[in-house]
Each structure stands twice: as C-alpha cells, then as structure tokens.
Amino acid sequence: MPVQLNEPLNTLQHMCEELEYTELLDKAADTPDPYERMVLVAAFVVSGYSSTYYRAGSKPFNPILGETYECIREDKGLCFFAEQVSHHPPISACHCESKRFTFWQDVRWKNKFWGKSMEILPIGTVNVMFPRFGDHYEWNKVTTCVHNILSGRRWIEHYGEITIRNMKGGACICKLTFVKGNYWSSNVNEVQGVVIDQEGKVVHRLFGKWHEGLYCGVPPSAKCVWRPGSMPADYELYYGFTRFAIELNELCPEIKELLPPTDARFRPDQRHLEEGRVEQAAAEKQKIEDLQRTRRKWQEENGIKHQPRFFKKVIDANQRERWVSNNTYWELRKSPGFSKLENPQLW
C-alpha cells in the first residue's frame, strides 16, 4: 500500500487511543451501584470509537512483528504498553495499569473488500478490571466500514452489537447496538443500549451517537454520561487527529533513552511521514517490510518460532486463545534498562 494512504500513527498507538477517556473508568471504580458502574463502562466503550470520526481519509501503519509502544500519562495516572505478537494472523496486544483499574486486550482483524468499501472485522475481547469491587468486564468490538475508498468523500461507520459482561458478578449485562445507517439518514452513527438485570428487566436505557456523546435515561430528561472533547484548530490539516492522538508519537528527550529501540516512535517511515518527507517515508517503509520478510525467511529456514517479548499466550475458561502481559516490561525498563539488553533490529 502506498505510504500516502497512511497516517503517522500505527495500530499499537491506536489501541492506546481507546484510553483517551479513562476518567469514565476512574469514576466507575468509585461507583458502588453495579448498574451505574455498568453505564460508565458502556460510555467508555462507546468513547473508544469517537476519535475515528475524522479519520476515514487515512489508515494507521501496520506494526512489524516484535514492534512495541509505551505510553505513560501521569495526568491520567496510567502506564500502557503494547506489542505486535503475531504477523500471520496479525495480532496486537496491550496492557494498561492504573491505581483504579487494569485494562487489556488482544485483537486480530479480518478485512473484507466490497469494491467501493472495506469492512474491518475485529476478533478478540477487551477487558477492564476494578480491584476495589473485584469486577472483570469483558466485551467484543463492532465492525468498522470505510466507504468510498476509491473515489468520493471517504466516511467511516461502525455497526453491530456489543455485549458487556461482568465475569465476576452477574448483577447485570449491557447490550449496545451501533446502528447501521447510510450517509444520508438521520440515524448515522447512532448507538442504542440497555443495562439489564438478572431477570432481564431494563434498569437503564442508553442512546446517543458515538461521535457526539452518550445519554442515559429517556428524552428530554436523559442525563449526558459522556461527550468528546473539542477538536484542535486546523485538525483537517493534521489527519483529523484529536489532541490526545497528536501527542502519541511525541518523542520527548527524557524518555528517549528509556524506550526499547522497538518502540513505534523510532520507526523512520512513520517519522518521515509525520514531518512531510513522503519519498523518504516510502523508501523506509519498503526497507522495513523487506527486512521483516528476510527475518521471517531466516527463522523458517532455521526452525525458529517467534516468541513475543512482553506477552504470553493463555487459554481462558471458554477455551479461547488470549494474549496477556507476562509482567516483564516495566521491570526490564527499570533494571537493567532496555539499552543494556539485546534488542531485535526492526528497522
């Protein structure tokens, strides 16, 4: 794919973008009522899609096998890291810690081309745990469709059903429907949902639009649970990035020495594109992809299987394959430090 179709962020950083509104999880972690807590978790789930609204024009870079990304946000009180754990099928895994919650997911994607549009079907689950209540929420993702990929104005749509369950307690479940509309209909980007108790009774009704906000209750007395922040000035010139997205590829001097050389911020093709050097970006992208193919061929010829560095494969209670943190990233970063370790050469 031509580098011009990319934006200067990659899929691992996109996973971090889903954490833009973690204040909803912080609030949920302090909410004793299980039904209200579920409403806040549902709002967080919807908020993870909001940054895509202005982003139909470009796609994120595909991570290289073994590529990593970390994000420490002291203002949000969280530490995040991610790794590309598999190339075929492509699987990205991430883990995030905060004092109030733990968040993790592993996602693989299937793409379907329909001539004028492309569907992206995510497979995998997203998880949040609240230590205070012993809760473990789990949910799936919906289908994303990019319309007019070849000509015309591209626009993005999410549709399907999400079920949020608390795996440690059956007080309630939440069902969210991302309504499939069309470009001209009034229900474009609409979300409808219910929080249901054990008897199947509706406790809370949810409605809104994934790019505008989520409400709980019945109009006109419904309460706004979440709405996205304002977009930065001239966002159209900068790939439609939110304020949070703009900061994700920032390489501050104080953390440069602490990061592993596999961190996405060191990717030369992505950095060249961000700084407007399109030809250099295309050349570096080709070089990185060739290096990956050479590495893969060498491993196959020598019977070596790639072992992810910071995640391990587990089988859950439903016999599903999952990738979870092996709890080594922050320990190695602290001591002996990544600069003192042997690191793979990805670019």
Indicate the domain borders of the chain: 10-247
Q: What is the pLDDT of residues 16-54, one digit of tens each?
A: 999 999 999 999 999 999 999 999 999 999 999 999 999
Residue 139: C-alpha distances to residues 82, 105, 127, 133, 162 (Å):
19, 10, 7, 18, 6
pLDDT at residue 319, as a whole number: 83
Task: Say if residues 279 and 273 touch (Cβ distance below 8 Å).
Answer: no
Task: Say if residues 224 and 212 touch (Cβ distance below 8 Å).
Answer: no
Q: What is the pLDDT of residues 174-183, one digit of tens each?
A: 999 999 987 6
Amino acid 278 reads V
CATH number of 10-247: 2.40.160.120
Q: Please name the helix (run of DSSP H) or strand (run of DSSP E) that holds residue 322, with its range, or none.
A: strand 321-325
Q: What is the mean pLDDT of residues 57-78?
A: 95
Q: What is the CA radius of gyration of the chain?
A: 20
Nearest residue to 229 via CA among 22, 31, 29, 13: 22
pLDDT at residue 183, as a whole number: 63
Q: What is the mean pLDDT of residues 239-253?
A: 95
Buried b (16+ CB within 10 A) or exposed e, 120-156: bebebbbbbbbeebebebbbbbbbbbbbebeeeeebb
Q: Does the structure show a pLDDT above 80 at 337?
A: yes
Secondary structure (3-state) at 45: helix
Nearest residue to 194 via CA among 171, 167, 225, 217: 217
Model confidence at 110, pLDDT cuts 50, 70, 90, reads: confident
Q: Please name the helix (run of DSSP H) or strand (run of DSSP E) that holds residue 246, with its range, or none.
A: helix 243-247
Instruction: State the pTM of this model.
Output: 0.95
Phi/psi at 9 (nearest 5 deg)?
A: -140, 160
Q: What is the mean pLDDT of residues 234-244?
A: 93
Q: Does the structure show a pLDDT above 90 at 266?
A: yes
Q: Is 343 exposed, middle or buried (0-12, 13-18, 19+ CB in 10 A)?
A: middle
Q: What is the mean pLDDT of residues 220-235?
A: 95
Between CA 107 and CA 92 the distance in angstroms is 6
pLDDT at residue 86, as a whole number: 95
Q: What is the pLDDT of residues 72-92, one digit of tens each?
A: 999 999 999 999 999 989 999
Task: Say if residues 281 and 3 touch (Cβ distance below 8 Å).
Answer: yes
